[in-house]
Structure 1
Amino acid sequence: MTEYDADGVAAFNVQLIEDFRRNGGQVTLEPLRGQPTVLLHTVGARTGQRRVTPLAYFIDGDRIVVIASKGGAPEHPAWFHNLRAEPQATVEIGTEAVDVVAELLTEGLERQRLYDRMAELLPQFVEYQTATDRVIPVVVLARTHPAVRRDRNGRH
């Protein structure tokens, strides 16, 4: 199994979020330079605090797809539990923030199709699935108001 350094990941995520925002929604930090990235805003299921998590993504039709891999760790990431408790969220994509609702896929052909697509785009996702015994969920984020765009402060 993959070792998971939560403190190291948190510190890198702070840098990644700053880099993303400073560069108009593009990541310039290694080793993720150029990787398609969104910032997912959730509310903590236990704490009620607002959380921001950078995630790799791809577009499937008009949906944003992210994977709850946690790098192949044995447990789901906190943001997945947050979405399970409250599927309404916001995503920063490029320079815009859009309201979304999450659909959590933990089984089935659609989950497999979308996971396989991510693994084609970013091969490390093959390693993540083989590193853990859990089925890694796929999360589909659908825009709740396609015509409404918000800045990262929630303003229209």
Structure 2
Amino acid sequence: MSEQFPERVWGTPHGFLSRLVSPFAATKAGSSVIRKLTPLDRKILERTGGKYTVLGPIGAPVILLTTVGRKSGEPRTTPLLYVHDGDTIYVIGSNFGQNHHPAWTGNLLANPAAEVAIAGQHIPVTAALVTDEDRKKAIFERFEETTRAYTSYRNRTARDLRIFALTR
């Protein structure tokens, strides 16, 4: 077993603000607003080393994932919600329910070496695509517990949402 990842969640996932934001995030308009906030969130996360996020007040656990661009070879950084499992972090390529996979998932398939910024730490990780259907279902349910928006994202697209396990 490898070393556990730190956990950094502030705010409350079951508070008033979270109960307001989660249903909105599940709508197409809400997804559009969150996509527009992503560059701001990336800057906040970068400046704070993964300590603070735009979604922090609602208790959303967010990391910065840096992959290597499969075409460019350049670092590509994306803020993502995650579920924490001690020595494993799971991320999902929902892309807000759009019909194409997010670029970072293709980057991880091409090169599983990446880095996460979480709780002020930058940690090298190795990604593995989760392929076992029972395990994927259980992990997806954990994402739905974080926000019901994931149910909407899954229902908006016919593609399989890629889930990756990140380990040190």
5+ unaligned residues in a row in structure 1: which ranges? Answer: 144-156
Amino acid at match of 1:59: H
Alignment check: 8 A CA contact 1:106 1:136 kept: no
Amino acid at match of 2:54: L
Structural RMSD (CA): 2.4
Match of 1:29 in 2: 54
Q: Secondary structure at the match of 2:128?
A: strand
Residues 28 and 76 of structure 1, relative CA distance in 2, 3 Å threshold: closer
Q: Give a deviation string over 1:78-124, Cα, whole Å, max 9, x none.
A: 00000000001000011001111001124511111101111112111
Q: Does the alignment pair 1:12 with 2:33? A: no
Match of 1:152 in 2: none
Q: Secondary structure at the match of 1:57?
A: strand
Residues 62 and 129 of structure 1, relative CA distance in 2, 3 Å threshold: same
CA distance in 2, matches of 1:106, 1:72: 20
Match of 1:105 in 2: 130
Matched residues, percent identical? 34
Q: How does 1:5-154 map to 2 (within 5 A)?
A: 9=35, 12-23=37-48, 25-29=50-54, 33-143=58-168
5+ unaligned residues in a row in structure 2: which ranges? Answer: 1-27
Shift in Å at residue 137 of structure 1?
1.2
**TM-score when normalising by structure 2:** 0.73
CA distance in 1, matches of 2:117, 2:74: 18
Shift in Å at residue 20 of structure 1?
2.1
User: Size of the alignment, in residue pairs?
Assistant: 140
Q: Secondary structure at the match of 1:62?
A: coil
Q: Secondary structure at the match of 1:75?
A: coil
Q: Secondary structure at the match of 2:96?
A: helix
Alignment check: 8 A CA contact 1:75 1:134 kept: yes
Alignment check: 8 A CA contact 1:67 1:136 kept: yes
Amino acid at match of 1:18: K
Q: Secondary structure at the match of 1:102?
A: strand
Q: Secondary structure at the match of 2:109?
A: helix
CA distance in 2, matches of 1:90, 1:44: 13
